[in-house]
Each structure stands twice: as structure tokens, then as C-alpha cells.
Amino acid sequence: MQNVSDELFDVIIVGGGVMGSATAYHASKRGLKTLLIEQFDFLHHRGSSHGESRTIRANYSKPYYYPLVMESYTLWQQVQAQIGYNVYFPAHQLDMGHAHDHTLLKILENCSNHGIPHEVLNRCQLAEKFSGRIDFPDDSIGILNEFGGVIKATKAVAMFQTLAHKNGAVLKDNKEITDIKKDERGVVVVSASNNETFRGKKCVVTVGAWMSKLKDERGVVVVSASNNETFRGKKCVVTVGAWMSKLVKKVSGVEIPIKPVEIHVFYWRVKEGHEGDFAIGGDFPTFSSHGGVHVFGTPSLEYPGLVKIVVDSGDKCDPDKREWGPGVRMNELKEWIKESFNGLVDWREPVVKQACMYSMTPDNDYVVDFLGGQFGKDVVVGGGFSGHGFKMAPVIGRILAELAVDGVPSGGTDISPFGIGRFNNSQK
């Protein structure tokens, strides 16, 4: 038998990774009655938001990410000030690659268009700048600016959840949501400005001249968990990461081409005596190398003496039947480390390994939109963050909460590149 709660939430958020937790933070901060539901333990390691670190950088090749990341820098600092500990650690960002690499040229355009102070360095200049710690081939360049940094990942998710809880949000874990649907009981819910709600089979509205002011909530969304519990909300935000395609197809029939990919994070040992040269807080940057094997990494922070260096690709996976494989392109990665750090980082074997998932879309752009169909604007989806979402969580959380409650993001934030409609003609 279904255990239907009579409690009516303003917003139910399904999926307690960084996006769902940031959405719960923003919704609860606005005084909305908020429920965040997670299928596993909160802060588990089976999705995309766990681990020690994520890079934040303003160097994007697509211009519409620039305002989002700049707002995120501000929001990370504001939110960490509320909780009283740091999750954001500043660093410079270095992008390297062949001088004619398309992505690098676009990054340069981005820096110019937005007036981001930056340096373009050749091999000698780079060697001088980083006193021989970083090297690359003669025909390459490096673009260096001050907009890099590291976000402590699991700590940041915990921060959003703690603040949401403090703001009155209800947090429930170990509840897998198996269905999302409109309320079939034909119940009309009437809400008063003091947050009292009344339920009736029918409703007659006789408010005269105030008719156009009355907010039409269009109904209630019912969210069911595998243990037969159900929760009722005026709106629902779905932030289920690598499970997005599966869940959305099941509840609505809509196919969103989000492909889960297993990625491996590796930590490598810095040669003895040089540990401080690669540590956060000095001049060593967060970095990306473009063209050939795409590699990115962070200065050492979480494990003293170890730097994180990762290949930005992996194997397609089923989030419910993970391979927990060895990682891809390891030989290329080792070769890259050997050549790029002048023998100061031991490239032979990583010391620590962690597995995680990307949720890839065909164009690597996010999905932030209403689900539409029978749900209209009552269900909002936020997913497909394609391996570059974490840094944006505070701003994506704001947008998802606003879409759910106001129907539009505030401040004219442009989310047009992230619509579900763009996949209509692409492969599923």
C-alpha cells in the first residue's frame, strides 16, 4: 500500500549531488518548503559529486559559460562565508596546447571579449615563469590568468545540505524515486500567504477584480519512492546526474541523450624536496592541456605531496552496473606527465585512484529546462553537466530553484543553450 504524505512541499528536489543540494539551498533560503531526496546515503561515492577537488576556471571556449562562472566565483565565496569554512581555494589557471589549437584560440577570444587580464607564454617564458616545473613542446603556448582555483567537492555538497537544513529544508536519503507524476486524485490545493494549505475535490474562484493576480499552480506533482512512500510538491526539480536519461524516460517517455561515462581521478607523487613547488597557495596553477590527450589537474591540496592529474575521457557505463575499471589512456597520460613536469612528478604509477561519472550530452552543453509534456513547467530538469558542472553548482542551483518557482531565471540569465529541444534532431 502506498504511504502518501499529506504534507505539500513547495519544491521537491530529486537527487542529492551538488546540483540538487545547491538547489535545495537556494529554494530553502527563499523560505520555500523544500524536500531533498537522495537514493543512496548523502555524500556517497557512486555518482559525480564526491571526492576531494574540482577545478573552477573562467577559461571557456563557449561564451555563454562566462557569466555563469563569474557569478559562481561570487556565490562560492558568499555561501562559504555563511557556513564559516572554506570550500573554494584560489589559484591561477593555465591552458596549454598547440598555438593553433581551436579550443585555445576560442579561450583567447573569450579572454579578450571579456577583458580578462591574461598572459600568453611560449616555452621559454613558461619555463621562466614556473622555474622549470612546467614544460611543453616548442610550437605550443600557455594562456595564464588569475581565474582558476579548486573547490573541495564533498565538503561543498555537505555545505549546501547543511545550510539547506538550517533554512528548514527536509533532507531524506536512501530513498530511490521510481516515479514522478501529476496528482491523479483530482485534489485541488489552495495555499494561503501564511503558508497554510487547504485541499478540496473542487474549487470555485470568486475573487472578482483580483482574478488575474491569483497564482495558478496548475496542480501537484507526486513523487514515489521504491519503498512505496510518496511525497507531494507543487514543483519538482530532477537532478539525478548519470541516472537522468533512465528516470526521465521512465516517467515521461522523453529521451534526453545524456550518456554516463566512467572517469578515473589519479594522484601522482611529487619528487621529494619539491612538494611545496606544486602546492596550492603558491604559484602553481590549475591546468588543462588541449589537443591530443586532454589532460587537466590541480595543485596539491588534499593529499600533501600529491598532484591530481586526470585524462578527460572514459568509457561509457551503466550507473547501476559500474565496471570500476582501470581508467583509459593511461600510457598517454604517463607520457604526458613525464614530458610536462621535467621529471619532478613521478609518472610511473599513480598513488591514489578514485572513480567517478560524467553525464555527457552530444554537444557537451548542460540540460537546464522544463520537462514539458504533461508536466508543463511543474517539473524542471538539471543534468548533462558533461564533466564541467561542479564549479557552476551555486548558479545552477539558483537557476533551477527560480525556474521551478518563478518560471524564469532572474537577472536575464541566458539558459537558451541548455534547452531539451535542441536534441530533437540529434542522435538518441
Half-sphere CA count of 404, side-chain side, radius 13 A: 35
Pairing of strands 295-298, 118-121: unpaired
For ligand FAD, the nearest residue by Cβ is 17
How far apart are CB 240 and ligand FAD at their closest, in Å?
Answer: 4
- The residue (of 104 and 177) whose beta carbon lies closer to ligand FAD is 177
Asked if residue 275 lies in contact with residue 269, where contact means CB atoms within 8 angstroms, the answer is no
- The secondary structure element, H or E, covering residue 89 is strand 88-89
Residue partners of 132: CB distance under 8 A and separation at least 6:
342
- The residue (of 186 and 253) whose beta carbon lies closer to ligand FAD is 253
How far apart are CB 48 and ligand FAD at their closest, in Å?
Answer: 4
- The residue (of 47 and 142) whose beta carbon lies closer to ligand FAD is 47
How far apart are CB 103 and ligand FAD at their closest, in Å?
Answer: 16
Residue 40 burial (C-beta neighbours within 10 Å; 0-12, 13-18, 19+) = middle
**Selection from 276, 282, 274, 344 nearest residue 309 by Cα:** 344
Distance from C-alpha of 108 to C-alpha of 363, rounded to nearest angstrom? 21
- The residue (of 257 and 271) whose beta carbon lies closer to ligand FAD is 257
- The residue (of 201 and 244) whose beta carbon lies closer to ligand FAD is 244
Pairing of strands 286-289, 93-98: parallel
Q: What sign does the dihedral 231-237-242-247 (CA atoms) show?
A: positive
Determine the 3-state secondary structure of 277 from DSSP. Answer: helix
How far apart are CB 157 and ligand FAD at their closest, in Å?
Answer: 8
Asked if residue 131 lies in contact with residue 139, where contact means CB atoms within 8 angstroms, the answer is no
Beta bridge partners of 163: none
Residue count of the chain = 428
How far apart are CB 192 and ligand FAD at their closest, in Å?
Answer: 31
- The residue (of 71 and 176) whose beta carbon lies closer to ligand FAD is 176
Alpha helices (H) in 84-233, listed in sequence order: 102-113, 123-129, 153-166
How far apart are CB 57 and ligand FAD at their closest, in Å?
Answer: 8
Burial letters 133-149, b for 16+ CB under 10 A, else e: bbbbeeebbbbbbebbb
Question: Which residues are at the interface with ligand FAD (CB under 6 A)?
Answer: 14-20, 37-40, 47-49, 54-55, 176-177, 239-243, 247, 263, 265, 356-358, 383, 385, 387-391
- The residue (of 341 and 366) whose beta carbon lies closer to ligand FAD is 366
Distance of CA 184 to the CA centre of its chain: 33
How far apart are CB 389 and ligand FAD at their closest, in Å?
Answer: 3
How far apart are CB 255 and ligand FAD at their closest, in Å?
Answer: 17
- The residue (of 179 and 349) whose beta carbon lies closer to ligand FAD is 179
